[in-house]
Structure 1
Amino acid sequence: MTTFALSRGRATTVTPRKPRRTRRALTGWAFVGPAAIPILGLSIFPAVWAFLISRTKWNGIAPAKPVGWGNYQTMVQDPQAAAAVGHTLWLTALFVPSSILLGMLIAIALNQKIRFVAFYRTCIFIPYVASAAATGILASFVFNPQFGAANDVLRRLHLPAQQFLESPSQALVVICVIALWGEIGFTAVIYLAALQDVPVALMEAATVDGAGRWRVFWHVVLPQLRPVTVFVAVWQTITAVQLFDLVYTTTRGGPLQSTETVVYYIYKLAFQTQRFGYGSAIAYGLFAVTILLTLGIFWYSRRSRMEAF
């Protein structure tokens, strides 16, 4: 409906804004819809189906038998699931702080005015875009106890050879090192972008006031990196919790199930023992923990006024 208004003795028309907003919304959905519908179908439908499977006992062949919440009750009492959770937590505790610290240090180094800095930045990012499966296969040769390059270096340094991926006490740490090699480029690039966004005026003002380089970094630069640190912590935590490909290509959960993470345990249940219902229940438990962890960090960042998201 068109209305009229008086302006300096003349009548002018005022077009309602609601139809215009509706047209803009429809135009936007017309562009987004063709891509959004397949994505939603490929994510929501499998998620709903997996939840329905998690309430059944099904081997993929015989008809599914409803068990209600029995799979979830079994999950709480399963010692293998508890061990997989412990391995995942230990891997996360090793991986996340190391990736944050190393990524920040590498970003600081690459933020300096040095020769061939663009080449160095490219080299540090290449492992991240490489296939994780290929990284795991390559690392299994590097850390091979008999003919691996890692033990060859130790022998040249007159140090005792190690078992690495064949040792129950070392395998998970080695997998963490391999994961760091593949993921550190992402963290470094994120911190590098954040460092270049720090206001130069703040650092110059601190320098004029007599602050040294360390104090400028600690009191000026580091507070500016807090939102990025929260984001990186969330991202790398999810990466560690969902780690599968490196475990699959290096140890297959061994030796003695010392590297069996939650995701690999889900894979073993579903595709090796055909316990699809129980595997889906553990997958949903992992999903719930990941969501709660993300929401908790999101709430903390909002509460502390860190615009990380």
Structure 2
Amino acid sequence: MTLTFAVSGRTVAKRQASGRAVRRTLTGWAFAGPATLVVVGLSLFPAVWAFFISRTKWNGIADPQDIGWRNYERLAQDPDLAAAAQHTLVLTALFVPASIALGLLIAIALNQRIRLIGFYRTCIFVPYVASAAATGILAGYVFNPQFGVANDALRRLGLPTQQFLENPRQALLVVCVIALWGEVGFTTVVYLAALQDVPRELVEAATMDGAGRWRILLSVTLPQLRPVTLFTTVWQTITALQLFDLIYTTTRGGPMNSTQTVVYYIYELAFQTRRLGYGAAVAYLLFAVTLLLTALAIWRSRRSGEEAF
């Protein structure tokens, strides 16, 4: 009889615990559910609609004409898309390594115990939280060939002035410099947080073994930062592939289309030449490339055991 009551009591307790868990779950979803539906709806609906648009010939006004996969077949034969992809690859190849290297160096400098360290950290992060459009407009004045600050500094140093954003050979490099100004604060903050999580026991053990600062940095600190480096590489690659606002506010893809990236080419197709169907197809191509790169990074992270994602 006593055993029966004990088993019955445990059963009731389990049911009560299960009921409380269900109520907590339902309460959580009652708060988070509406916002989740809005976010998912605003993400999935445009993506699905854009896919159907990519299979049509549509100018946004007349009725769309279903043309099947012809927009996707044209992707491999479009010289403007090939040029935009080349510019995007060059920008990515310049921007990603530079942002990671600068972010790491600045983070190491800001990880020291110096006066006004909080002020310095804030100054580094401010350009990242500032509007990218405002950064582009300001950069347009800085690199103006006639009255810009950059050329004024070159004159004072006795160096020849440059055309910067008006020179097809220099414009993409200048855009990369502007992008670094706005984005290096992100990698700096990420690396700074990672540096503060490096076990001090490893550093102290290396110091006791006679290792100098450079040896500790190369053999202890950098290996501990591999997951963070992988994460920032993927993040900055996606940032470079989707760079639009700086292009729009500085060069508008010029001069002579030298800074026309894939994202800006999509904008021109969809909103300037009104070729919405083909623009949606190019957008899906960019989405596929971005998804593939992210999937490869996650696969490598899990295979190597580095918890980057």
RMSD: 1.6
Alignment of 1:79-98 (within 5 A): 79-98=79-98
- AA at the equivalent of 1:6: L
Change over 3 Å in CA distance of 1:57–1:8 after alignment to 2: closer
Alignment of 1:269-288 (within 5 A): 269-288=269-288
Q: Does the residue aligned with 2:281 lie in a helix, a strand or coil? A: helix
1:231 is the counterpart of 2:231: yes
The CA deviation at 1:10 is 8.2
The CA deviation at 1:24 is 3.4
1:68 is the counterpart of 2:65: no
The CA deviation at 1:38 is 1.0
Structure 2 residue aligned with 1:177: 177
Change over 3 Å in CA distance of 1:75–1:5 after alignment to 2: farther
Is the 1:165–1:251 Cα contact (8 Å) retained in structure 2? yes
Structure 1 residue aligned with 2:105: 105
Is the 1:5–1:12 Cα contact (8 Å) retained in structure 2? no
Change over 3 Å in CA distance of 1:10–1:225 after alignment to 2: closer
Structure 1 residue aligned with 2:118: 118
1:248 is the counterpart of 2:245: no
Is the 1:5–1:11 Cα contact (8 Å) retained in structure 2? no
The CA deviation at 1:123 is 0.4
Change over 3 Å in CA distance of 1:9–1:262 after alignment to 2: closer
The CA deviation at 1:34 is 1.4
Structure 1 residue aligned with 2:188: 188
- AA at the equivalent of 1:258: S
- AA at the equivalent of 1:198: V
CA distance in 1, matches of 2:2, 2:57: 70
The CA deviation at 1:28 is 2.3
Structure 2 residue aligned with 1:149: 149
The CA deviation at 1:32 is 1.1
CA distance in 2, matches of 1:302, 1:208: 33
**Structure 1 alignment gaps of length 5 or more:** none
Question: What CA deviation, in whole Å up to 9, does each residue of 1:142-195 have, x standing for no partner?
Answer: 001111110111111111111100111100000000000000111100000000
Structure number with the higher helix fraction is: 2
The CA deviation at 1:8 is 11
Change over 3 Å in CA distance of 1:210–1:252 after alignment to 2: same
CA distance in 1, matches of 2:50, 2:245: 21
Change over 3 Å in CA distance of 1:5–1:150 after alignment to 2: farther
Aligned residues: 306
Change over 3 Å in CA distance of 1:259–1:9 after alignment to 2: closer
Question: What CA deviation, in whole Å up to 9, does each residue of 1:63-82 have, x standing for no partner?
Answer: 00001110001111100001
Change over 3 Å in CA distance of 1:216–1:7 after alignment to 2: farther
Structure 1 residue aligned with 2:44: 44
Q: How high is the TM-score relative to the length of structure 2?
A: 0.96
- AA at the equivalent of 1:262: V
Structure 1 residue aligned with 2:198: 198
Change over 3 Å in CA distance of 1:157–1:18 after alignment to 2: same
- AA at the equivalent of 1:162: Q
Identity %: 70
Q: How high is the TM-score relative to the length of structure 1?
A: 0.96
